[in-house]
Amino acid sequence: MGKETRTKVLVHGLPETSAVWEPLLEELEKLGHRDVVRLSPPAFGAPRPDGFSATVEGYRDWLVGELSAFGAPVDLVGHDFGGVHAVNVAISRPDLLHSWISDVAGVFEPDYVWHPYAQIMMTPGEGERAIGELVGAELPDRVAINVQGGIPEPAAGKVAAGQTVEMGKAVLSLYRSARQPALADRGRDLAAAAARPGLVLIATEDHAVGSLEQRRRAAERAGARSATLTGLGHWWMLEDPALGAKVLAEFWEGLPA
């Protein structure tokens, strides 16, 4: 199968911008994958339209609309909440996909418990205070917070430039719409994602998106393959973009036409 047959679509999460994909894009190009599009969810590097619902459902519907415009099924890759959106599309609109990849499938498991930062975001008052410390800070301080959180430079600076008050509001809204059992309920339909080939990325040092067992279990329920990224964390695409590109390319190149 030719490498340029299908458009690849990358969707990031929070509190991020599409800058997190730049090193991976360079590595994918070296491997011959050049038809790659980055989609920025509203408020995360793109304007938030008036009346837009920054919820799990709202972002799923946004992504459905964006993918519908391509006119042909795409190879979808989602990171962080982008991975949530990707799985939700795989469940509800597999006709829009040629394949899907997610690095957060474990959050759809019934026994998944949100990580401490998410629980703060979900708590009225505490969430507003915590997100305000990020989006209300001066640019150099936002960069430092990103680096401390695991985003290396230069991506930390590029992401910081997009961490606005509007993004902060969307972070709170999206997290609060995802309180369990919200995603566990959606996870009951994970088997529907098997309508298209899927890949669950398991970064072993990412402890925010479920245990290794939860992620493997989710992959099995979704009829998906899994790929273990040993020693890599939440921002695997920044930590080792060459390995990330290799894993993605091998999956895509093994797909049926």
Residue 135, domain member (yes or no): no
pLDDT in tens, 101-144: 999 999 999 999 999 999 999 999 999 999 999 999 999 999 99
Residue 222, domain member (yes or no): yes
The torsion of the CA quartet 36, 24, 221, 224, rounded to 10 degrees, works out to: 60
The neighbouring-strand residues paired with 42 are 46
pLDDT in tens, 194-238: 999 999 999 999 999 999 999 999 999 999 999 999 999 999 999
Residue 121, domain member (yes or no): no
Residue 249, domain member (yes or no): yes
Range of the domain at 85: 8-112+183-253
- Say if residue 4's pLDDT is above 70: no
Mean pLDDT across the chain: 97
pLDDT band at 1 (very low <50, low <70, confident <90, very high): very low
Residue 188, domain member (yes or no): yes
- Say if residue 3's pLDDT is above 80: no
Cα 115 to Cα 101: distance, rounded to the nearest angstrom: 22
- Radius of gyration (Cα) for the chain, nearest Å? 17
The one-letter amino acid at 236: W
Residue 199, domain member (yes or no): yes
Percent of the chain topping pLDDT 90: 97
- At 174 the pLDDT is 99
The one-letter amino acid at 50: D
pTM of the model: 0.97
Residue 224, domain member (yes or no): yes
* DSSP state string for 136-168: TS-HHHHHHHHHHHTPPTTHHHHHHTT--HHHH
- Say if residue 255's pLDDT is above 70: yes
Counted domains in the chain: 1
Here the CATH number for the domain that contains residue 14 is: 3.40.50.1820
Half-sphere exposure of 188 (CA within 13 A, CB side): 5
- At 231 the pLDDT is 98
Q: Which residues contact 121 (CB under 8 A, 6 or more apart)?
A: 127, 130, 131, 171, 172, 175, 176
Residue 176, domain member (yes or no): no
54: burial class by Cβ within 10 Å (0-12, 13-18, 19+)? buried
Cα 149 to Cα 255: distance, rounded to the nearest angstrom: 35
